[in-house]
Amino acid sequence: MAVVVLLNLLASIFYIYTPARRIHAMRVSISYFRSFFLLMASGFVVFGLAFPKTEPIHSVLTAAFFLTAFFCLKYGFIVRQNPDHPPLYKSKFFYLNLIAIIAINGFLFQYYIESHLMRSAALTSNCSIISILTLKYIHKDKTSKKYGESLATLGVLFSIFCAMAMLLTLNYTQDIFTYFSVFMVSQSLIAILILGGSQAIFLSDLADLYYQESVTDVLTGLYNRRFFLRQSESLLKFAERHDYPISIILCDIDYFKRVNDNYGHEHGDKALIAFANVLKESSRESDITARFGGEEFIILLPKTDAKGATVLAERMRSATESLSITNGRKTVSITASFGVTTFDHTNSIDEHIKQADTALYLAKSRGRNQVVLHDASEAINASIE
């Protein structure tokens, strides 16, 4: 019993000092896992102090601790996937379940005081149902399962298996001490598996988060310039090898400085976010959409020729023109200019970005709020001007 309590207490301490607790998005989920292990430790303490002469209060408290612990485990995985999910204390199902298991334990103790099997069956069956419901929340991405998620799944499945094994042991042996021994060994293994799995999950999530921050723009959520250039090089080589077209759209918000000067930087940030959302929603999943710097954005379009890129840019331009950005009582509309170029597989990525930039310059010089496709002869005239 002391080993099981110690394991759960150590697990809760891990969650107090885990590096992932510093990440706001993970904080609530971590608190649920910490509560799971603390409640399990508390349940075992009450169970051990009362064993074998259990009083009604001990039976009720043990049931309440264990049931709440498994609910915390379930909510830990739910909140990991959706940080905005309503908290456990707002769940009517939790309170109804808690009242039901307390009432059942009280009734069984009152009328079947020696029936450890019946009380254990009621509690373990309930906890097993919660565990089964927990399984679908463990994997964040069903197409890419992580090692920690698999380990946590194994831990939850093992807890269900152990619950059935403990009931069978008590049913066939009718020996409470044998049942107690099986119970302690299985709970030690469950604590180790769930701790190992959950820690691996959070460390993996932490690594993913740091990587995501290194490749994305903080304000808009689009990819940053460094990631765009790195991915473009590899995609350009792939396109050249397989001989399919690839295009670039370079764009920026017209008169963006006026937006900042007249309405403030907060309004300017909202304009950037709104424009970025237009680009993101208009792009395909295979496209690379990035903030290139300031109010300038860039989109790489694999398997897209000049016509297709121009049509897409025009769609983005029209959607931007329809935007209405509000900040308090102030409302402002924005427009954007677009330069388009298609790769000829003879120039570098930098050369093609210069071509798109030249087309963007022509769009600006012709009055803004328009799309211009790069043309070699126009580029020469633009450079002379």
Mean pLDDT check: name the lowest of 133-147, 233-247, 299-313: 133-147
| Rounded distance between C-alpha atoms, residue 336 and residue 324, angstroms | 13
Percentage of residues in the chain having pLDDT higher than 90? 29
Checking if the pLDDT of 372 tops 60, the result is: yes
| Rounded distance between C-alpha atoms, residue 246 and residue 306, angstroms | 8
Q: Are 200 and 147 in contact (CB under 8 A)?
A: yes
Mean per-residue pLDDT for 53-79? 82
Q: What is the pLDDT of residues 264-323, one digit of tens each?
A: 888 889 999 999 999 999 999 889 999 998 899 999 999 999 999 999 999 999 999 998
CATH of 2-215, one of 1.10.3470, 1.20.1070, 2.30.30, 1.10.10: 1.20.1070
Helices H, strands E: what count in the chain?
A: 13, 7
Q: Which residue has the tokens 């940053």?
A: 224
Checking if the pLDDT of 368 tops 90, the result is: yes
DSSP code string of 312-374: HHHHHHHHHHT--EEETTEEE---EEEEEEE--SSS-HHHHHHHHHHHHHHHHHTTSSSEEE-
Q: What is the pLDDT of residues 77-91, one digit of tens each?
A: 899 888 889 999 999
Checking if the pLDDT of 383 tops 50, the result is: no
Phi-psi region of 328 (alpha: psi -120 to 50; beta: other; left: phi over 0): left
Percentage of residues in the chain having pLDDT higher than 70? 84
Q: What is the domain partition of the chain in residue ranges?
A: 2-215, 225-384
Average pLDDT of the chain is 82
Tell me, yes or no, if the two domains 2-215 and 225-384 fold the same way: no
Residue 140: burial class (beta carbons within 10 Å; 0-12, 13-18, 19+):
middle
Cα torsion angle, 80, 84, 87, 92, sign = negative
Q: What is the pLDDT of residues 165-201, one digit of tens each?
A: 766 766 666 566 666 666 666 667 777 777 777 777 7
What pLDDT is stored for residue 171 in this prediction? 64
What pLDDT is stored for residue 340 in this prediction? 95
Mean per-residue pLDDT for 98-127? 68
Confidence of residue 155 (pLDDT cuts 50, 70, 90): confident
CATH of 225-384, one of 3.40.50.2000, 3.30.360.10, 3.30.70.270, 3.20.20.80: 3.30.70.270
Residue 175 DSSP symbol:
-
Q: Which comes out higher in pLDDT, residue 252 or 210?
A: 252
What pLDDT is stored for residue 180 in this prediction? 64
Mean pLDDT check: name the lowest of 36-40, 131-135, 169-173: 169-173
Mean pLDDT check: name the lowest of 100-104, 295-299, 342-346, 376-380: 376-380
What pLDDT is stored for residue 103 in this prediction? 80
| Rounded distance between C-alpha atoms, residue 385 and residue 365, angstroms | 11
What pLDDT is stored for residue 52 in this prediction? 58
Q: Which comes out higher in pLDDT, residue 22 or 263?
A: 263
Mean per-residue pLDDT for 321-343? 87
